[in-house]
Amino acid sequence: MSVAVTSIFVDDQEKALRFYADVLGFVPRHDVPLGPEARWLTVVAADQPDGVELLLEPNTSPVAQAYQRGVREAGLPMLILATDDVHREHERLTGLGVRFTMPPTPTGPVVSAVFEDTCGNLLSLQQPAA
């Protein structure tokens, strides 16, 4: 058994696709219309085209909106992304206008940085501590 798809609620699927693809470097995998206001819209890591898909799921239900808002207000990242150089990625993303709420900081066995995805979520970027 393995994880095939995981999801993250977003307040705007098109804006999320631009951020996750153009800024973070993910590649669109599926884009299937699900009616007038939603799509089955997934992205994958560029170097793992057959890897876990991230579903950019619309937060159209009140439950999804409350969950997303509550996690954000608590300061909790909705997703953890791995990198081999968190400082380089922090610099690159900052140069692209990404807003970080926490710069690269040692947090136990990893160095973490937390940033906004422009779609209502905080994400964590991590690398193993040296």
Q: Which domains does the chain have, with CATH numbers?
A: 5-128 (3.10.180.10)
pLDDT score, position 36 = 83
Cα–Cα distance list, 130 to 39, 98, 104 (Å): 41, 25, 13
pLDDT score, position 35 = 85
pTM across the whole model: 0.93
**For each successive 10 residues of the chain (130 residues), what is the average pLDDT?**
96 96 97 91 96 96 95 96 97 98 96 97 94
Residue with tokens 């890591």: 45
Where helices occur in the chain by DSSP H, the ranges are 13-17, 62-73, 86-95
Given a contact cutoff of 8 angstroms between Cβ atoms, the answer to whether 30 and 40 are in contact is yes
Given a contact cutoff of 8 angstroms between Cβ atoms, the answer to whether 52 and 97 are in contact is no
